[in-house]
């Protein structure tokens, strides 16, 4: 008989913990305790399922509707021996793939259909629910009442003296239980108002980068890509809703709530107003980082007009207008010499914009592997030297691709990593594989099925340019996406003319 909790432990935990080296056992235990809590919440609130499905990166904060007090209680129970932020990051990565498993098991993506499926699994979910989680779920408005006992309850022998005593005790017990429940709810509702100075200081110390908002518009001024880096779940939710409403975009922004980022923007109350001005301005990049705002458009006049509207509104933020975005293709951008950082950054931004536009133009009802691979190959993923960490600039594009691939299980891609010729050939091959694996793992963390991706590292074996020049080396350091024929397993390259068989 199916036990959905065991299914999640086998499928989702293995995916989320793949490649983890620290606190693996503890994180696995935390996931096991989290699944029944998550499913109990989804069963009770089908509307939440749809809300999470619309998020590129659903987060733990999305489950608690701003009640940080209850969220902290959950994390404290799940993180008795490991850093809380690591546990929260692990749970965040598990939400999207859990939804995918539920859709597959329920045979539908409809929230009510998934909730009905969870009702059939309620006995298993209750069996796995930790006792300490019941008050948290109650605080979130979720009933965890068990079914009535099927065994008849013996009728107690009535004694006149004890009946009088019982009549006195029962109201007293009921009063004490009610008082305890009210005290718990009061504490939960007000938990986020009490800030421990030591905790606050530690949080501030942990923030090493300013909060950042990055977004790009396409040829018609519609939202193409958006990414938010902010350690503030409440404002993250507010900003997501504003972006979706302003741009009429159901996806909104990719979200990263790592504690390393600040918890507010300077003049953040003005962000929605600024975004309303940005809407409709074609091919524009906006980056709001802490107290700095930069604007860049394909048409210089558009950027200057936008700045003229925005600058008078700002009080604490410094606005800068960058040189116009070029229209060069990713292949041309890769030919730029790596010794000119400004030009390289501009080329990378251009490539990301083009990739985002290409992904946005794909019909969700007719997704093909060629469309996705072609779009992904437009972007430049410029890894730092000797690093396999995916640049933040590229994550929004990968998020978009993941959303499409989740709804298109027939799309199967090979992710190829390549390096230049500097260094040891064997080491380069290992590094190229690690980079390809990092991209594949990131897509899986966003809900793509592992079977849809294969990572391969070629190192310096397949250069596309002359390694004797800096421009050639820059072009050779790349990630390529190839189409896989799901029937034959044949890998095919992707170019402007379509798909060609790999030699």
At how many degrees (to 10) do helices 84-106 and 24-44 cross?
Answer: 50
SS3 343: helix
Specify the number of domains making up the chain.
3
Lateral strand order in the sheet of 254-256: 254-256, 223-229, 212-217, 284-289, 292-297, 318-321
Residues near 126 by beta carbon (within 8 Å), at least 6 away in sequence: 36, 40, 144, 146
**Residue at token pair 């009946």:** 163
Asked, for residue 163, whether it belongs to a domain, the answer is no
- Give the Cα separation of 61 and 95 in Å (integer): 11
Two structure tokens written together for 253: 């922004």
Asked, for residue 392, whether it belongs to a domain, the answer is yes
Q: What is the pLDDT along the chain (503 residues), one digit of tens a residue?
A: 688 998 999 889 888 888 778 888 888 889 999 999 999 999 999 889 988 887 767 888 889 877 788 888 899 889 888 888 889 999 999 998 999 899 888 888 888 889 999 999 998 898 888 888 888 888 888 876 543 333 333 334 444 444 444 454 555 565 566 666 555 555 554 444 444 443 334 344 455 678 988 887 877 888 877 778 888 888 988 998 999 999 988 777 877 777 878 889 999 989 999 999 999 998 888 889 889 998 888 788 898 999 999 999 999 999 988 765 433 333 333 334 444 566 677 788 888 888 888 888 888 888 888 888 888 988 988 887 778 889 888 998 999 999 999 988 888 899 999 988 888 888 889 899 999 999 999 999 999 998 889 899 999 998 888 888 777 788 888 899 988 665 455 555 565 445 444 44
- Is the distance from CB of 367 to CB of 412 less than 8 angstroms? no
Residues near 44 by beta carbon (within 8 Å), at least 6 away in sequence: 141, 142, 143
- Is the distance from CB of 418 to CB of 462 less than 8 angstroms? yes
Query: Could you list the residue range(s) of the whole structural domain that residue 464 is in?
Result: 335-501
Question: Is there a single domain that holds both residue 135 and residue 33?
Answer: yes
Question: Is there a single domain that holds both residue 247 and residue 358?
Answer: no
| Chosen domain end from 290, 321, 352 | 321
Asked, for residue 8, whether it belongs to a domain, the answer is yes
Q: In this structure, what are the phi and psi dihedrals at residue 212, rounded to the nearest 5 degrees?
A: -140, 140
Q: What is the CATH number of the domain that holds 238?
A: 3.40.1520
| Chosen domain end from 293, 321, 349 | 321
- Give the Cα separation of 341 and 317 in Å (integer): 25
Question: Is there a single domain that holds both residue 384 and residue 482?
Answer: yes
- Give the Cα separation of 210 and 396 in Å (integer): 18
Give the closest residue to 267 by CA, choosing from 216, 222, 312, 237: 312
Question: Is there a single domain that holds both residue 100 and residue 66?
Answer: yes
Q: In this structure, what are the phi and psi dihedrals at residue 404, rounded to the nearest 5 degrees?
A: -70, -45
Q: In this structure, what are the phi and psi dihedrals at residue 97, rounded to the nearest 5 degrees?
A: -65, -30
Question: Is there a single domain that holds both residue 388 and residue 247?
Answer: no
* Measured CA distances, 205 to 112, 193, 210, 211 (Å): 43, 20, 12, 14
Residues near 362 by beta carbon (within 8 Å), at least 6 away in sequence: 371, 372, 375, 404
Give the closest residue to 421 by CA, choosing from 490, 354, 472: 472
* Measured CA distances, 203 to 45, 52, 90, 181, 213 (Å): 32, 27, 19, 31, 20
Query: How many separate helices (H) and strands (E) can be counted in the chain?
Result: 21, 11
Question: Is there a single domain that holds both residue 302 and residue 355?
Answer: no
Question: Is there a single domain that holds both residue 23 and residue 116?
Answer: yes
Question: Is there a single domain that holds both residue 246 and residue 340?
Answer: no
Bridge partners, residue 205, by sequence: none
| Chosen domain end from 321, 354, 389 | 321
Question: Is there a single domain that holds both residue 36 and residue 78?
Answer: yes
Question: Is there a single domain that holds both residue 469 and residue 365?
Answer: yes
Report the half-sphere exposure of 147 (CA within 13 A, side-chain side). Answer: 9
Question: Is there a single domain that holds both residue 375 and residue 489?
Answer: yes
Question: Is there a single domain that holds both residue 287 and residue 387?
Answer: no
Q: What is the CATH number of the domain that holds 357?
A: 3.30.1330.60
Asked, for residue 201, whether it belongs to a domain, the answer is no
Q: What is the pLDDT of residue 181?
A: 57
Asked, for residue 196, whether it belongs to a domain, the answer is no
């Amino acid at each position: 008989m199916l036990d959905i909790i065991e299914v999640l432990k086998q499928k989702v935990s293995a995916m989320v913990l793949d490649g983890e080296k620290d606190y693996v056992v503890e994180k696995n235990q935390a996931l096991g305790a989290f699944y029944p809590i998550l499913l109990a919440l989804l069963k009770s609130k089908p509307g939440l399922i749809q809300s999470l499905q619309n998020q590129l990166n659903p987060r733990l904060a999305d489950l608690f509707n701003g009640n940080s007090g209850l969220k902290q209680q959950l994390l404290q129970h799940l993180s008795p021996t490991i850093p809380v932020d690591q546990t929260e990051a692990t749970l965040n990565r598990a939400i999207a793939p859990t939804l995918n498993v539920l859709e597959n098991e329920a045979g539908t993506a409809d929230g009510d259909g998934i909730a009905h499926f969870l009702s059939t699994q309620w006995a298993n979910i209750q069996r796995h629910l930790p006792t300490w989680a019941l008050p948290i779920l109650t605080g979130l408005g979720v009933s965890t009442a068990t079914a009535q006992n099927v065994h008849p309850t013996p009728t107690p022998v009535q004694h006149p003296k004890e009946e009088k005593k019982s009549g006195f005790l029962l109201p007293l017990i009921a009063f004490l239980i009610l008082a305890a429940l009210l005290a718990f709810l009061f504490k939960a509702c007000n938990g986020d108002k009490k800030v421990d100075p030591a905790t606050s200081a530690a949080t501030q110390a942990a923030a090493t980068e300013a909060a950042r908002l990055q977004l790009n518009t396409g040829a018609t001024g519609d939202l193409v890509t958006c990414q938010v880096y902010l350690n503030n779940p409440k404002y993250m939710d507010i900003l997501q809703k504003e972006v979706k409403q302003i741009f009429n975009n159901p996806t909104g922004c990719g979200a990263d709530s790592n504690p390393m980022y600040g918890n507010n923007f300077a003049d953040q109350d003005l962000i929605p107003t600024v975004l309303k001005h940005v809407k409709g301005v074609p091919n524009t990049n906006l980056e709001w980082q802490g107290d700095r705002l930069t604007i860049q458009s394909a048409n210089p006049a558009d950027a200057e007009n936008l700045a003229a509207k925005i600058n008078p509104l700002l009080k604490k933020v410094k606005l800068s207008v960058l040189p116009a975005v070029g229209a060069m293709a990713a292949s041309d951008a890769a030919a730029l010499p790596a010794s000119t950082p400004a030009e390289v950054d501009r080329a990378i931004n251009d490539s990301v914009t083009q990739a985002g536009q290409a992904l946005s133009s794909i019909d969700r009802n007719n997704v093909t592997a060629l469309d996705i691979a072609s779009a992904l190959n437009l972007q430049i993923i410029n890894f730092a030297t000797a690093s396999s960490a995916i640049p933040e600039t590229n994550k929004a594009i990968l998020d978009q691709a993941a959303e499409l691939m989740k709804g298109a299980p027939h799309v199967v891609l090979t992710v190829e990593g390549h390096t230049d010729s500097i260094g040891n050939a064997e080491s380069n091959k290992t590094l190229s594989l690690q980079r390809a694996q990092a991209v594949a793992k990131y897509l899986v963390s966003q809900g793509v099925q592992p079977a849809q991706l294969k990572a391969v590292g070629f190192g310096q074996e397949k250069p596309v340019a002359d390694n004797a020049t800096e421009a050639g080396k820059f072009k050779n350091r790349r990630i390529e996406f190839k189409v896989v024929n799901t029937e034959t397993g044949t890998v095919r390259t992707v170019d402007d003319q379509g798909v060609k068989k790999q030699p």
